[in-house]
């Protein structure tokens, strides 16, 4: 397992994708392992995180280095981190407008968390065997809602994502191998109000 | 890593500790690893889980088999599971009343989750190296609030907890080595209204 930096100061940073935030999280190490507030509503809303109101906590376990999932834009906001291991994350703005197609990438280890607003495509590649990826969302998933997702292909050269492990060597779901390229992707419909 | 049972039906069971619930969670396995809804508000409130309204998601990483934490009763409810690995959990009712001192134990792997109401003492022992324990709570932690916790000693023979790994061989915090026995524990004060 790679080294985690302990005792960072809680901090939020913006990215080139409007509304997306990258957090440094304090992780407290001791002889037992470590402890973190993975999400702390009061301190993080003070730093600009929208008040999530989570209704689901999802966890994916990625057995081997290289497992790659995405790129999925779903009709809810996501707050993402890892419980153990690390991932290379890649995000693509799929909202209609002038930031459509904007890409952001970074590594998430337990001392980082990412807020991904609705309509931004989410994907990641596990950098370690046994990586547990955990996130909170503010709407309930259902199989029927899949019709309202927007997908983009992980391998689209137009995105220019430099995956640490070549996708040809990676474990992907069948669905994720066949998503459209960005030029054919359907921008996510705005939130109904 | 021990085997996880996939595709269990979501189910809630009561225990001898009033208000405490044990859930079976469906875990979906595939070639990438697995995926689970660790918490799903709508489906689980239908099964009797109080509407949590979480404000923190905490994660502790337990580097080695045998790391043991507890027994802590804090002034909030907890919804607990593991992201990877497994733990032996032990709970002690520390609310004033006729269930004071009642003990419940079980193993939590990723396909199980536990709802622990405010005032019930919580503890666990990691059964695997690299166990990531994750939970949601519905009030914000602060160091000052520690004064309002109730603690009991993991080793109190009156509790009769059969720890899978003898505590003398386990990694514990200094604080956790010195909590009072049940007979000297202060029942948790009722919620202020
Ligand atoms: C998202 C989701 C999925 N599932 C089930 C359906 C499948 O049986 C299994 C895996 O679902 P996939 O559609 O294959 O999801 P996956 O490719 O793992 O993508 C997930 O992880 C990456 C995330 O970007 C994305 O939110 C999420 O869909 O989990 C649920 O039961 N509840 C859910 O919320
Ligand atoms: C509970 C908690 C702790 N902390 C910090 C304080 C310490 O630097 C570090 C570890 O705290 P401990 O008091 O040693 O907690 P621990 O013994 O790990 O117990 C925790 O895990 C078991 C749980 O039963 C309990 O809720 C929780 O206190 O994390 C936080 O920053 N926020 C928190 O919410």
Between chain A and chain B, how many beta carbons pairs sit less than 8 Å apart?
A: 125
Cβ-defined contact of B35 to A57 (cutoff 8 Å): no
For Cα atoms A172, A164, A73, give the angle at the middle one, nearest 5 degrees.
50
Contact (CB, 8 A) for B124 and B70: yes
| A91: enclosing H helix or E strand | strand A87-93
Q: What does the pLDDT read at residue B137?
A: 98
Contact (CB, 8 A) for A182 and A99: no
Cβ-defined contact of A84 to B130 (cutoff 8 Å): yes
The active-site residue out of A72, A79, A115, A133 is A72
Contact (CB, 8 A) for A62 and A131: yes
* Domain coordinates in residue numbering, chain A: 11-184
pLDDT over 70 percentage in chain B: 98
Q: Which residues line ligand 2 (CB under 6 A)?
A: A 28, 35, 37; B 58, 60, 69-70, 72, 74, 122, 141, 173
Residues of A in contact with B122 (CB under 8 A): none
Q: What's the pLDDT tens digit per position in A163-187?
A: 999 999 999 999 999 999 999 998 9
Band of pLDDT at residue A190, cut at 50, 70 and 90: confident
The active-site residue out of B28, B135, B140, B178 is B135
Q: What's the pLDDT tens digit per position in A100-157?
A: 999 999 999 999 999 999 999 999 999 999 999 999 999 999 988 888 889 999 999 9
Q: What does the pLDDT read at residue B146?
A: 84
Nearest CA to ligand 1 atom 34: A141
Residues A103, B10: Cα–Cα separation, whole Å: 37
Contact (CB, 8 A) for A60 and A52: no
Residues B175, B182: Cα–Cα separation, whole Å: 16
> Strands of A68-73's sheet, edge to edge?
A103-108, A87-93, A120-126, A68-73, A150-151
Cβ-defined contact of A134 to B130 (cutoff 8 Å): no
Q: What does the pLDDT read at residue B145?
A: 84
Q: What's the pLDDT tens digit per position in B96-115?
A: 999 999 999 999 999 999 99
Question: DSSP state, A130?
Answer: T
Q: What's the pLDDT tens digit per position in A57-91?
A: 999 999 999 999 999 999 999 999 999 999 999 99
- Residue-by-residue DSSP string for B126-176: ESSTTEEEEEEESS---GGGGGG-EE--TT-TTT----SS-GGGS---TGG
For ligand 2, mutation pick of B60, B80, B177 (most atoms within 8 Å of CB): B60
Is the CB of B41 inside a 6 Å radius of any atom of ligand 1? no
The yes-or-no verdict on residue B1 having pLDDT over 80 is: no
Total Cβ atoms within 10 A of residue B135: 24
The residues, any chain, with a CB within 8 Å of residue B70's CB and separated by 6 or more, are B90, B121, B122, B123, B124, B154, B176
CATH of A11-184, one of 2.60.120.10, 1.10.1530.10, 2.60.15.10, 3.40.50.300: 2.60.120.10
Cβ-defined contact of B30 to A173 (cutoff 8 Å): yes
The yes-or-no verdict on residue B38 having pLDDT over 60 is: yes
Tell me if the pTM is above 0.95. Answer: yes
Q: What does the pLDDT read at residue B2?
A: 65
Q: What does the pLDDT read at residue A2?
A: 64
For residue A35, the CA-to-ligand 2 centroid distance in Å is 6
Tell me which residues of chain B have a C-beta less than 8 Å from any C-beta of chain A. Answer: 1, 30-42, 54-64, 67, 69, 83-84, 110, 130, 132, 134, 136, 140-141, 171-173
- The predicted model gives B80-98 an average pLDDT of 97
Q: What does the pLDDT read at residue B182?
A: 98
Residues A174, A165: Cα–Cα separation, whole Å: 18
Q: What's the pLDDT tens digit per position in B133-170?
A: 999 999 999 988 888 889 999 999 999 999 999 999 99
Q: Comparing C-alpha atoms, which of B91, B85, B84 is closest to residue B69?
A: B91
Band of pLDDT at residue B192, cut at 50, 70 and 90: low
Q: What does the pLDDT read at residue A147?
A: 83
- Please, what is the average pLDDT of chain B? 96
């Amino acid at each position: 397992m790679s080294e985690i930096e302990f005792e960072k100061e809680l901090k939020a940073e913006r990215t080139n994708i409007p509304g997306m935030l990258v957090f440094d999280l304090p992780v407290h190490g001791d002889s037992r392992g470590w402890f973190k507030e993975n999400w702390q509503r009061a301190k993080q809303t003070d730093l600009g995180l929208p008040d999530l109101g989570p209704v689901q906590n999802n966890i994916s376990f990625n057995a081997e280095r290289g497992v790659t999932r995405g790129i999925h834009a779903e009709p809810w906001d996501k707050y993402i981190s890892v419980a153990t291991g690390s991932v290379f994350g890649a995000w693509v703005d799929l909202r209609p407008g002038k930031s459509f197609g904007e890409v952001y990438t970074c590594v998430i280890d337990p001392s980082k968390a990412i807020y991904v607003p609705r309509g931004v495509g989410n994907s990641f590649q596990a950098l370690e065997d046994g990586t547990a990826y955990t996130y909170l969302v503010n709407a309930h998933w259902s199989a029927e809602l899949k019709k309202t997702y927007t997908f983009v292909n992980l391998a689209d050269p137009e995105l220019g994502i430099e995956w640490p492990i070549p996708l040809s060597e990676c474990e992907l779901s069948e669905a994720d191998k066949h998503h459209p390229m960005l030029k054919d992707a359907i921008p996510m419909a705005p939130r109904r109000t």
